[in-house]
Amino acid sequence: MAVDSPELKTLPAEDSHLVTYPRFLWECFKISFDGSPLFYAWMTGLTAIALVGVNAWANQMAEGMVLTNMTDHVSWGLYIANFTFGVGLAAGAVMMVIPAYLYDDRDMHEVVIVGELLAIAAIFVCLAFVIVDMGRPDRLWHMIPGLGRFHWPMSMLTWDVIVLNGYLLINLHITGYMIYSRFVGKPLNRKWYIPFVFVSVVWAISIHTVTAFLYTGLGSRPFWNDAIIAPRFIASAFVTGPAFLIVALHAIRELMRLAIPDGAIDTLTSILRVTVWINLFLLASEVFTQFYTGGTHAASAHYLYLGLDGKSGLVPWIWTAIALNLCAAVLLVLPATRAVRGWVVAACVFTFVGVWIEKGMGMVVPGFVPSTMHELVEYTPSLTEWKLTAGIWAMGIGIFTVSVKIAGHVLTGRSGLGSRRIS
Amino acid sequence: MTEVTRRATVAGLGATLGAVAFAKAMEPLRHFTEDLSLDQFLQRHYRELSPEDLERVLRRIEEDTLRERGAHVSVADDRPIPGVQFGYALNLSVCNGCRKCAEACHHENNHDRSTNQSYIRVFEMEQGSLDFEHAATHYDHAVPAPGKYYMPVQCLQCDDAPCVAVCPVEATWKEEDGIVVIDYDWCIGCRYCEAACPYHARRFNWSEPEIEAEEINPDQGYLSNRVRPKGVVEKCHFCLHRTRRGRLPACAEACPTGARVFGNLLDPDSPIRWVLDNKRVFVLKEELGTRPRFFYFFD
Ligand code: SF4
Ligand code: SF4
């Protein structure tokens, strides 16, 4: 064997994943730390916000959850609100996967990975929110099946752990497989990702359904103990997912200079045009049922929309949300605005914020007000809670930015071993 | 400097700065990790502890209480007595809302002094209504007030307890004598049980409980009144460190009106059985199907 021949020495090794995979990771690492001044500024900003969050969390761990404004009456607050919203965002990403794979939309197929990467980033955000909400994150291992005591299938929270982590793994696999295959220049083997894509569609629905069941299963809280919560969650997920993705695709096209087909954005806009109205319709059904029946059962809804016994902390929030969602819904159908990019983007931002309020604070907090014994204790998040919330979202946006950047580089052939091989 | 090395230098500098900033941001966490020993971290679920392990844990808790709070205490592990099923009944016709029970609980169970915590809350109810919408716990006047009656509420030790069902790590469960307990060393502090309990019976330790050494009740139980760690949930446990030794719960002992009747449901001669046999009793929110072991009645 000609040991000193460089070709013979490196060729077989290059085929081995043991060599190419670390190289792939190294390349990803390099891409994450290399970019334009704008990219540096963006990532530095996000990192700074994330660090403020990390610091707030460290303080919260040291002092206890007193640093939040939660109480025994309102025992879940901004964290769980954001968690719930984040699950919707993760599930909403499937609105790219369905057109791409179920309807064979070519344009969507080209950019579908952006949706899958959003799902990953959103799940990281959700997991972070759950962890910061825990009084004892050091005991997280008590939840690991086998090691701890996993109260499955009784506890809905264990189901949520399964579906969220499952969804994360499925999407990590799909996107990782695609990017890595492209990196080494191998053609995709459908067997290795198509089944997972289909599973991910069903799974996306499941994560938000199970998250809704966390609430609807509690008979003690009439505001949540309602069959409409799960459908509402799904409908609003299909609002936030497309809304975020439309804005993200525009940003990717403008700032990362990647080709984004108009068809993909148009399809997402068409979806959003319908889902914002469905979301509003479900809201209206809920409001009617609550208010027409009245009685103690409707106390939470009263508190949320009108205020109760002089307490009205959530009233401005929820009406802002409704106004934002209505504006977006109208902007998306009016002939004068629905085809104008600026208006569509504005509609996306409006409805994104609208759903964030409605499904976050607007869904979680009224479940506790009035409490199970009809006491009216209000809740406004503390500075610690806001810092942590900003930090976690900054982390999520950072993960999303970097992963899109890596995918863009590799899938457009700017990085990879493939080109070298062909030459 | 070439463009590449300049970029590498900037990136390297950025990464170093980032790492330093991260370490600084995490700094306060040191307080938390310092308080947490490896033994504590690795401790198994109460029901998986061997007798020797349990013994070690109990002694360690005693040592920790001495070291951290300067109080000599003894922590026991009282097990359910075969043939005993605990039940509680409360006579609403005689309860006068004095809150002596809540106070006794506060002292017996080493509650946080700063929040004046207790497992019992007494609702001042409006005559003619069973609706808590017209009730208040924060009354501050001579009792009994005209037109009012009083309803103390604590954990009802439900036989079909939603709090037990929802716990993701089985940190809370129903014991053979009917008491729903919490392993404070296993609870992860997710507060799902607190959201699930229909009676607002559960409390979360938002911070380390504050209590002077000389005020600590030294007679403690692992599953009951030992001083709770921060970040976990707690609730009434029918004073199992007393009742499993044949004593009354502190609240029943403290009640000046005799409104509280506690005992073994399986003992035909017990006062609780007499109440259940002879009075028209009811439970709170029966429609939820939680099957409480805590009954109310009017004379
Ligand atoms: S009263 Fe609440 S805490 Fe007590 S057993 Fe019932 S559900 Fe659980
Ligand atoms: S707070 Fe503790 S006891 Fe309650 S559900 Fe969570 S882990 Fe279980």
Of B207, B208, B231, the CB nearest to A136: B231
**Closest ligand (CA of A76):** 2
What average pLDDT does range A284-305 have in this prediction? 92
- For A126-153, the pLDDT digits (tens) are 999 999 999 999 999 999 999 999 999 9
Min Cα–Cα distance to chain A from B262, Å: 24
User: Which band of pLDDT confidence, cut at 50, 70 and 90, is reported for residue A14?
Assistant: low
Min Cα–Cα distance to chain A from B123, Å: 9
Of B168, B199, B206, the CB nearest to A373: B199
- For A35-52, the pLDDT digits (tens) are 899 999 999 999 999 999
pLDDT of residue B133: 87
pLDDT of residue B18: 86
Chain A CA closest to residue B171: A149
**Closest ligand (CA of B188):** 2
Q: What is the SS3 string spanning B3-53?
A: HHHHHHHHHHHHHHHHHHHHHHHHCCHHHHHHCCCHHHHHCCCHHHCCHHH
Interface-testing mutation among B38, B115, B200, with chain A (most A C-beta atoms within 10 A): B200
Q: What's the B187 CA to ligand 2 centre distance in angstroms?
A: 5
- For A155-210, the pLDDT digits (tens) are 999 999 999 999 999 999 999 999 999 999 989 999 999 999 999 999 999 999 99
What average pLDDT does range A227-248 have in this prediction? 97
| Percent of chain A residues past pLDDT 90, beyond the cut | 90
User: Which band of pLDDT confidence, cut at 50, 70 and 90, is reported for residue B1?
Assistant: low
What average pLDDT does range B72-95 have in this prediction? 98
Residue identifier of the C-alpha nearest atom 7 of ligand 1:
B197
**Interchain proximity A148–B22, CB inside 8 Å:** no
> Which segment of A386-395, B16-25, B29-38, B126-135 scores lowest on mean pLDDT?
B29-38
Residues at CB less than 6 angstroms from ligand 1: B 155-158, 161-163, 180, 197, 199, 201-202, 235, 290
- For B162-192, the pLDDT digits (tens) are 999 999 999 999 999 999 999 999 999 999 9
Helix (H/G/I), strand (E/B), else coil: B180: strand
- State yes or no: pLDDT of A268 exceeds 70: yes
- State yes or no: pLDDT of A419 exceeds 60: no
pLDDT of residue B156: 98
Q: How far apart are CA B285 and CA B198, in angstroms?
A: 8
**Interchain proximity A33–B15, CB inside 8 Å:** yes
Q: What is the pTM of this model?
A: 0.95
Please state the separation of Cα A417 from the chain's center in Å: 32
Chain A CA closest to residue B189: A135
- State yes or no: pLDDT of B296 exceeds 90: yes
- State yes or no: pLDDT of A297 exceeds 90: no
Give B94 or A34, the one with higher predicted confidence: B94
For each of the domains in chain A, give its residue range(s) and CATH number, in order of start.
13-420 (1.20.1630.10)
Residue identifier of the C-alpha nearest atom 4 of ligand 2:
B193
**Closest ligand (CA of A142):** 2
Residue identifier of the C-alpha nearest atom 8 of ligand 2:
B167
For a mutational test of ligand 1's pocket, the pick from B88, B235, B294, i.e. the residue with the most ligand atoms closer than 8 A to its C-beta, is: B235
* Bridge partner residues of B88 (DSSP): B262, B294
ipTM of the complex: 0.95
Instruction: Decide: A90 and A167 in contact? Cβ < 8 Å.
Output: yes
State the closest ligand 1 atom to the C-alpha of B172, by its place in the atom list counted from 1: 8
Least Cα distance to A354 among A251, A290, A275, A270 occurs for A275
> Which segment of A88-102, B28-42, B106-120, B242-256 scores lowest on mean pLDDT?
B28-42
Chain B residues lying within 8 Å of A71, measured CB to CB: 206
Chain B CA closest to residue A67: B206
* Average pLDDT value for chain A: 93
User: Which band of pLDDT confidence, cut at 50, 70 and 90, is reported for residue A423?
Assistant: very low
Q: Which residues contact B224 (CB under 8 A, 6 or more apart)?
A: B109, B181, B237, B239, B240, B241
pLDDT of residue B13: 85
The number of beta carbons lying within 10 Å of the beta carbon of residue A301 is: 21
- For B210-247, the pLDDT digits (tens) are 999 999 999 999 999 999 999 999 999 999 999 999 99
The two beta strands, B148-153 and B121-126, are antiparallel
Q: What's the A381 CA to ligand 1 centre distance in angstroms?
A: 27
Q: What's the B163 CA to ligand 2 centre distance in angstroms?
A: 8
Assess whether the previous peptide bond of A195 is cis (omega < 30° from 0). Answer: no
State the closest ligand 2 atom to the C-alpha of A157, by its place in the atom list counted from 1: 5
Instruction: Decide: B87 and B272 in contact? Cβ < 8 Å.
Output: yes
The two beta strands, B219-221 and B74-76, are parallel
User: Which band of pLDDT confidence, cut at 50, 70 and 90, is reported for residue A420?
Assistant: very low
Assess whether the previous peptide bond of A231 is cis (omega < 30° from 0). Answer: no
> Which segment of A240-249, A370-379, B25-34, B221-230 scores lowest on mean pLDDT?
B25-34
Q: How far apart are CA A415 and CA B122, in angstroms?
A: 69
What average pLDDT does range B16-36 have in this prediction? 87
Of A52, A151, A374, the CB nearest to B167: A151
What average pLDDT does range A339-368 have in this prediction? 97
